[in-house]
């Protein structure tokens, strides 16, 4: 009988030959440091005897092991339960969900908010529920945005990265088409781009959107909790009334799991009824919702954000002083290497020195832009930052980059 299955062994071999195969490396805890195990495959993981400093996580505020956040999750587990048990439209809606969404809406300056089981689900569900005719998307937008665009019947127009002039020209060209007057338009952009550390020019994008009557959706996954009053770039620039859809995640600075969308009452009602990734998914686990609520409260009412930005400034200054090319304008510090082998060698050199900061290679980033993505946490102390810088210096010299 003819085999109509899949040659997965060949796929894995091809990934290994191209040095693009990625593996899982378990760690004992999610924090600024931990003990890692080499990829175990089907065997039990064996943790290393050496503790490593983590400079690659999205746990920007370091709140995953904060006692207050953990206590909030424990209390929700004891009071509400470990899981939602059903779609929120059936029996899975709880007071914990409502509390989280009220706090998110307050922080984001919107009428309401809605939590999803992941940021991926929030993006895909929102874009498909809106059913736009045309989507204008930044060329470096996250994969969940790209997939949301693919799952609609919309025509997707890609504009140059963080380039409001390019966006405006695409909008103008589309406006000249015969069907434009009857079309619904959606502009979608990340605010902070996870692999480049760049920040979208949101004020200029708002101006372009308003000129052409388009709606704007901003993905604040890597910004939520880090800017003004625990909000994102939208809040830092005072654009709450000009951005129709604010999306974000609970799994990065807010130290939990899940995603959210904030906007008008009508938007949330539409998503509750039409976002398939919300309707047909079990609700966000109550402990995750409670943890995110507490983390957001801490982000808003403590000095944790200031500690993060101090570490970012210290690390960026040190890396640039050595001669490294550091991209971006945010808490994400991509150290541009260029050559793939050099980037892998630098990452290996860092790992030998107990610094976890993996190489980022194509297809995640464009060819010739291989890099080390560095992300300090608020909970790294000054000795940790110095240790990281010393490791970069020694490894960079060994590889011949300095």
Q: What average pLDDT values come out for the chain (402 residues) when binned by 10 residues?
A: 91 89 92 94 91 97 98 98 97 97 98 98 98 97 97 97 98 88 95 97 98 97 97 98 98 98 98 98 98 98 98 98 97 96 96 96 90 98 98 97 94
Give the position of tokens 């929102």: 126
The count of residues in the chain is 402
- Rounded distance between C-alpha atoms, residue 32 and residue 53, angstroms: 6
Q: Is the dihedral of CA 307, 290, 266, 106 positive or negative?
A: negative
- 3-state SS, residue 282: strand
The closest of 311, 295, 122, 339 to 220, measured between CA atoms, is: 122
Catalytic residue among 108, 142, 170, 222: 222
The closest of 46, 61, 18 to 223, measured between CA atoms, is: 61
Catalytic residue among 115, 117, 191, 194: 194
- 3-state SS, residue 26: coil
What is the predicted pLDDT for the residue at 180?
Answer: 77
What is the predicted pLDDT for the residue at 106?
Answer: 98
Cβ atoms of 274 and 312 within 8 Å: the answer is no
- 3-state SS, residue 186: strand
Instruction: Respond yes or no: is residue 137 known to be catalytic.
Output: no
What is the predicted pLDDT for the residue at 22?
Answer: 86
The distance between the two most distant Cα atoms of the chain, rounded to a whole number of Å, is 67
CA distances from 183 to 83, 149, 178, 186 (A): 41, 16, 10, 10
Instruction: Respond yes or no: is residue 222 known to be catalytic.
Output: yes
Q: For the whole model, what pTM was predicted?
A: 0.96
What is the predicted pLDDT for the residue at 334?
Answer: 98
- Rounded distance between C-alpha atoms, residue 117 and residue 101, angstroms: 13
What is the predicted pLDDT for the residue at 19?
Answer: 80
Catalytic residue among 252, 281, 293, 393: 252
Tokens for 179, please give them.
Answer: 């069907």
What is the predicted pLDDT for the residue at 177?
Answer: 85
């Amino acid at each position: 009988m003819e085999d109509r299955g899949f040659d997965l062994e060949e796929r894995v071999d091809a990934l290994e030959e191209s040095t693009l195969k990625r593996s899982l490396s378990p760690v004992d805890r999610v924090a600024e440091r931990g003990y890692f195990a080499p990829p175990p495959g089907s065997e039990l993981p064996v943790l290393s005897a050496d503790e490593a400093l983590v400079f690659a996580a999205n746990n920007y505020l370091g709140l995953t092991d904060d006692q207050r956040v953990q206590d909030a999750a424990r209390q929700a587990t004891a009071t509400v339960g470990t899981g939602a048990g059903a779609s929120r439209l059936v029996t899975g809606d709880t007071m914990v969900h409502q509390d989280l969404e009220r706090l998110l809406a307050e922080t984001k300056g919107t009428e309401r908010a809605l939590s999803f089981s992941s940021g991926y689900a929030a993006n895909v569900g929102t874009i498909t529920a809106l059913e736009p005719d045309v989507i204008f998307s930044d060329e470096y937008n996250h994969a969940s945005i790209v997939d949301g665009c693919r799952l609609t019947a919309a025509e997707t127009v890609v504009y140059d990265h963080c380039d409001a002039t390019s966006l405006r020209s695409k909008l103008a060209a589309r406006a000249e088409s015969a069907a434009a007057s009857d079309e619904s338009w959606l502009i979608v952009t990340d605010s902070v781009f996870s692999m480049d550390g760049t920040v979208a020019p949101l004020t200029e994008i708002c101006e372009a959107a308003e000129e052409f009557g388009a709606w704007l959706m901003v993905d604040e996954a890597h910004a939520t909790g880090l800017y003004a009053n625990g909000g994102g770039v939208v809040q830092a620039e005072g654009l709450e009334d000009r951005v129709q859809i604010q999306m974000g995640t609970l799994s990065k600075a807010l130290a939990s799991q899940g995603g959210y969308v904030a906007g008008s009452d009508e938007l949330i009602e539409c998503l509750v009824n039409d976002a398939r990734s919300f309707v047909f998914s079990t609700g966000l686990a109550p402990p995750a919702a409670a943890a995110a609520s507490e983390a957001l409260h801490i982000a808003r009412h403590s000095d944790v954000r200031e500690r993060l930005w101090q570490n970012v400034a210290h690390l960026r200054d040190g890396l640039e002083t050595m001669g490294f090319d550091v991209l971006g304008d945010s808490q994400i510090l991509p150290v541009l290497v260029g050559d793939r082998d050099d980037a892998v060698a630098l990452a290996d050199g860092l790992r030998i020195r107990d610094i976890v900061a993996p190489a980022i290679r194509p297809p995640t980033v464009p060819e010739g832009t291989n890099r080390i993505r560095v992300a300090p946490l608020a909970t790294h102390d000054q000795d940790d930052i110095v240790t990281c810088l010393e490791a970069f210096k020694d490894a960079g010299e060994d590889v011949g980059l300095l």
